[in-house]
Structure 1
């Protein structure tokens, strides 16, 4: 029997690789004769570059960059020389977990570090940079990226604005003439886990601002600042960056990457699946185990479990989803090919306890699933 374990990370708990390892550790004692394959996955957020490294191989590089709150952080990216490819996680340089919970405020955070990672990747002999958009602490529409890559964002006095969400409120001039010339010779691909536009009721600020620390008055202001940025891009550069799918990803970084820097935006999990050997492995499975930190109605829209289920369902492979928590409207996943959904928590608990016990809970749930598989006559 061949069991493929292909989960996403459990955000702020365990990486996708560690989730897969915990599930297998729980199943192996019950199914000692089974063959296991681990396919750590990501939808564009935390762990996206690691998933490429796990499945394609390559080298990991570390560098000091500007964190989202302007403190220095050590970020990483992956280089695969065979494919002449660099893979970057926004979360590594500009991620929400890099800011202490009490200090999170999207008015004052920046994507500078992500731009610095792109610049560092350009130092290698590559043809493409894939940027995983997800898990950001920012709402600056990529102003930090542009600044790090040589663009000038100036206020009415001709002085550089702070490359933050609030800084966009004083933007008057956007000059891209100084952009790093190496961008002209490298393909940019942005991996999105959302399809939101930049502005409006479904935009970056309104939908994602609260989870980054924005209050109601902040949301109103930040929304105006993004509109200002989009208007200046249209008036001064002739670029419409506001309404395309994915423009609102990563606090609006999708708008800058796709609208100003020419990046192609693709659903993150589909991109990962198409560039790796995952399709072939899934087709050979007898059972597939996947999962993510929270499963709800949004999971069917570009998230790992839904994408894995659609592929496995085409080959009539049963799919079991594990979740840190199960929210509303997850029943729609059964229409995508999911066989069953299991929460891993033993009972109600605080979020901090759930995160701390993720490994133990995954192992226990993996063991219980293995017992059901054995009971069904599989050995």
Structure 2
């Protein structure tokens, strides 16, 4: 039996590459004769470089950049050779991630800057890649609408010149807008370390700033690309789908002509998901949390839709399952399993310590192999 193992990252230090290895190790302990193919995935946020490099190779270019509050941090850009100079992959989470300011969330949201991303973009341009893919997290440590990034690049006009003649793609985890009742500011307000009052203050500030930038820069050269693959133009770029990713960095990059696309779909194309699925008999995927939003835009959803085209069974493993059988059925998902067994007859087990999560994932894979392998 040929099993494709294509998970997203789990929580803590268990990234997608490590999760795939843990699932494969557990499965092989039960059914060593099965053929296992590992294809770790990403939604464009943390781990983008790891999964693309695992599938495609390439060269890492070290970059010295500033973090959200100006502290120096070491990052990298991945260059994958190919036609037209190849593709450069930029993982914005390296300089904008919330993990960089674990105890200064409010300070970073109010006063932090996205300027550090400029160094990564300049390094990507220096590779002479004709295509640059920028992976953006849904939530970032900063919430400046990309103001710091544009400033570090010399303003919108100068930045467009820097990125001229390159296909700039944004791999966004979801289509959250920057402004509005259901935008990035509203999501930021749900963070207890930030709170709704500060989030509303930032919303007002960004509303005025983005309006000025849109007037000065003019309309972006590309229409908004929605998850369904259709194009739609909006009166305000700051209210368009995907503009809120990375604390609004997506808005700034859209001003420069970037095309927003679902991150998991971008990664699927980069790592060859469709071809890998075509060679498999069963697909095993997973993530930290599998909930209702993940049914539309997530690694699990992308993997499941790809397998559905070939009527392949898909099994999902997650630390938390918040969906029902009825909800997952349209995606062709055959089974969902939590890393740790739970039931209505006993309370939910506490999440395993980070050091033990890999062991728990491996143990779950051992049990799954007994159920799903036909060997």
Same fold (TM over 0.5): yes
Quick check: 2:90–2:133 contact (8 Å CA) kept in 1?
yes
Looking at structure 2, the residues matched to 179 and 118 of structure 1 have their Cα atoms a distance apart, in angstroms, of 10
Partner of 2:5: 5
Looking at structure 2, the residues matched to 218 and 12 of structure 1 have their Cα atoms a distance apart, in angstroms, of 28
Looking at structure 2, the residues matched to 208 and 322 of structure 1 have their Cα atoms a distance apart, in angstroms, of 28
| SS of structure 2 residue aligned to 1:199 | coil
Partner of 1:173: none
1:165-184 → structure 2 map (5 Å cutoff) = 176-179=156-159, 181-184=161-164
Offset, 1:81 = 1.9
Q: Structure 1's 55 and 247: CA in aligned 2 closer, same or farther, altered over 3 A?
A: same
Quick check: 1:139–1:209 contact (8 Å CA) kept in 2?
no
Looking at structure 1, the residues matched to 208 and 323 of structure 2 have their Cα atoms a distance apart, in angstroms, of 36
Partner of 1:320: 315
Offset, 1:177 = 3.6
Partner of 2:104: 103
Q: Structure 1's 9 and 224: CA in aligned 2 closer, same or farther, altered over 3 A?
A: same
1:59-98 → structure 2 map (5 Å cutoff) = 59-83=59-83, 84-98=86-100
Quick check: 2:45–2:136 contact (8 Å CA) kept in 1?
yes
Deviates more, 1:45-54 or 1:360-369: 45-54
Deviates more, 1:239-248 or 1:358-367: 239-248
Q: Which runs of 5+ in 2 are unaligned?
A: 220-235, 343-347
User: Structure 1 length as normaliser, TM-score?
Assistant: 0.87
Partner of 1:140: 144
Quick check: 1:94–1:138 contact (8 Å CA) kept in 2?
yes
Quick check: 1:233–1:241 contact (8 Å CA) kept in 2?
no
Q: Does 1:357 align with 2:356?
A: yes
Q: Does 1:123 align with 2:126?
A: yes
Offset, 1:221 = 0.4
Looking at structure 2, the residues matched to 199 and 349 of structure 1 have their Cα atoms a distance apart, in angstroms, of 38
Partner of 2:242: 246
1:1-379 → structure 2 map (5 Å cutoff) = 1-83=1-83, 84-100=86-102, 102-105=103-106, 106-134=109-137, 135-151=139-155, 176-179=156-159, 181-211=161-191, 213-239=193-219, 240-258=236-254, 260-327=255-322, 331-346=326-341, 348=348, 353-374=352-373, 378-379=374-375
Offset, 1:114 = 1.4
Looking at structure 1, the residues matched to 129 and 192 of structure 2 have their Cα atoms a distance apart, in angstroms, of 33
Quick check: 2:186–2:196 contact (8 Å CA) kept in 1?
no
1:291-342 C-alpha deviation (Å, 9 max, x unpaired): 1111110101210111111111121211111111122568522211111111
| SS of structure 2 residue aligned to 1:339 | strand
Looking at structure 1, the residues matched to 20 and 89 of structure 2 have their Cα atoms a distance apart, in angstroms, of 21
User: Structure 2 length as normaliser, TM-score?
Assistant: 0.88
| SS of structure 1 residue aligned to 2:46 | coil
Quick check: 2:145–2:210 contact (8 Å CA) kept in 1?
no
CA RMSD of aligned residues (A): 1.9
